[in-house]
Structure 1
Amino acid sequence: MTSMKFSKLCMAGVSVLALGGCAGGFDLGAASDVFRRDPIAVPSIDRQTPDARGVITYETYQVVVARAGDTITTLANRVGISPESLARHNGLPLTYAPNTGEVLALPVNVGGAVAAGPSGWSEDIAVSAIENAGGSSGSVGSPTDPIRHRVESGDTAYSIARQYNVSVTALASWNGLGPDLAVRPGQQLIIPVPDTSIAATPPATPPAATPPATTAVAPPQPPASTTTTATATPPAATTPPPAASTARFAQPVDGTVARGYSASNEGINYSARAGAEVRAAAAGTIALISNSTGGLGTIVLVRHDDNFITVYARVADVKVSQGQSVSAGQVIAVVAPADNPTLHFEVRRGNTAVDPAPFMR
């Protein structure tokens, strides 16, 4: 397996002092101001479909995927092992009720064919694509043998996703994480595998590079001036809120948008002064407060109606506690000190990040 330590990032014209030193672990988030961008998550393939027992067999290990209503006992019985060994191997009590789709590591081989990977996947191309996209602190797994990560105290889904340069949405989908994206010490997570067919594709030409002359020679339009404007400037490619949802969120901090939602930034980054109040975008319950090691600092998650979650990252002086109910506009933290202070804000429906813009009021 090709190793990717990316030592060249320590010599890419950036001083050791500016990066805080790469020898102790390169913090992509802390260096984002130096590189003028956040880490880019490389697209991932879909996780393989489990067999009839719910088992996925990789080259060096196996996992079992929980179904609705499963318990440790039903999972163990289905694959022919003792419930005690399954629980112990995953650091769980026998009474644990897994999420639907949650992945548990198997302590012994229970038989089965090794999962096939997509045709055309190339580790060399995937490594090159990840290097060009900003790097990763680990190796690149293959579809038939993905990397496993054992969760340590202080890890979050966000810090793990950034450590391996994958989308937190893909990490949650591959492992069946709950809506609050909670992970537990000792848990074994499968790291999503890069999608070579997408990762190796050169980036599209930015809109600014499109020759403006195209608009000038467009055929005459009807007299209404708004028609011409609409032709010259296409509307933003955002997805409107689902008709069944009345969710609306207020801007969580007084500041300006420094970076909008995209495939590589699953939220909005607001430029704001350090110490600026961070407010709950809508009424809800504090689902998680955690410290990330992946560049997002302290993270607060608020759960709302309609299966929505809002995420507030790079905050400090948290003023709420997990499980507490908060009202819309209530101060939950402040923007953390930094050379260029920003609040990273996400809107998620379940585990899926959505563009916050259509939901803002």
Structure 2
Amino acid sequence: MDITHRGPALPLAMMLALAACSEPLDFDLRGRMGGSVDTSQAALAAVADRPKPDDRGIISYPNYQVAVARRGDTLATLAGRVGLPAGEVARYNGIQTDDGLRAGEIIALPRRVSEPSPATGAAATGPIRPAASVDITTLASGAIDRAPATPATRTTTGTTAPAAQTGVEPVRHKVARGETAYTIARLYNVSPRSLADWNSLDKDFTLREGQFLLIPVVETAPANAVAVTTAPGTGSPTPQPPSASAPLPKDEPSPAAMAAAATEQKKEPVADIGQSQPAKSSAAMAMPVGGSIIREYSKGKNDGIDISAAAGTAVKAAAGGTVAAITENTDGVQIVVIRHPDDLLSIYTHVDGLKVKKGDAVSRGQTIGGVRAGSPSFLHFEVRKGFDSVDPMKYLQ
């Protein structure tokens, strides 16, 4: 369509509208004239803040690390601060070692350096991971951090130590020849402004070939997003859990194992050799260990309950299911995750002497290990519906 045949009013109106925008002119109008590429909805989505770097400027994720430039930095000074050869970092980012950097500019690291830690100004050691990761091992390891054996650590000033950063690992995009901030924003359905903010682009949204960009993480979908309609006979798409940020783990128990676990749950509890038969209960889950609750559930603070018990006391599966993961933290504290029907997970930490292995089908009341010795000794127990923690007492009473 040749818009010049419609008189000067339309082109003038378009230029006035563009000039009124606070962002630089976008001469790539694909999607504005009836095309398939459009990010008008992207601007309505809530975008998370970019994570804070450590004292060196490092932001670390499981699959890559980047460095954030300071005011007055050159590529050489940034490389020296993170401990990498300036030439190597320059070649990886397609710039010169003496090139100046904008404050907040993202520089990709060609290889990993030491992880952020309290020694480098971070709240915890290691890369940023999702708070409600679908990776069972990560979820289990986080349970240890949420269930300290002693009260929360206090700093010398009396304030609670900051929590470790969590978040979804963003896409790291390498700019190709001919790409603009607008075409990249449309590619990932984010707004150009959020892309510029995350990467500290200049007022003209200038990019260079070979530059790495972090794609902003969208927290929520646009409120007025158009619903997806499937063709007749194709079925409805499975909704994604609200807190899910990645596909289910590859080590998902097989359908046969899940079916076996479901069958086991319907049967009468099977007593362990040398153990007495557990009493029947109408509750969805049984107490995993006998004892008093010394720390109650508090969402976001303590995502489970702590049950006092003598070291070596048998820890039992709260319900029938499949052992989805067994791991331990850096202190050797073991963690067991059992997956149950109806999208439930139960998590047991401070367990020793395990009697099960990953992939085993377990029945309600079956001993999975013993309470780990401690001062005091206790079992930390969590229940998750999908990926959100819930008060275990709702299932135990």
User: TM-score normalised to the size of structure 2?
Assistant: 0.36
Larger radius of gyration: 2
User: TM-score normalised to the size of structure 1?
Assistant: 0.40
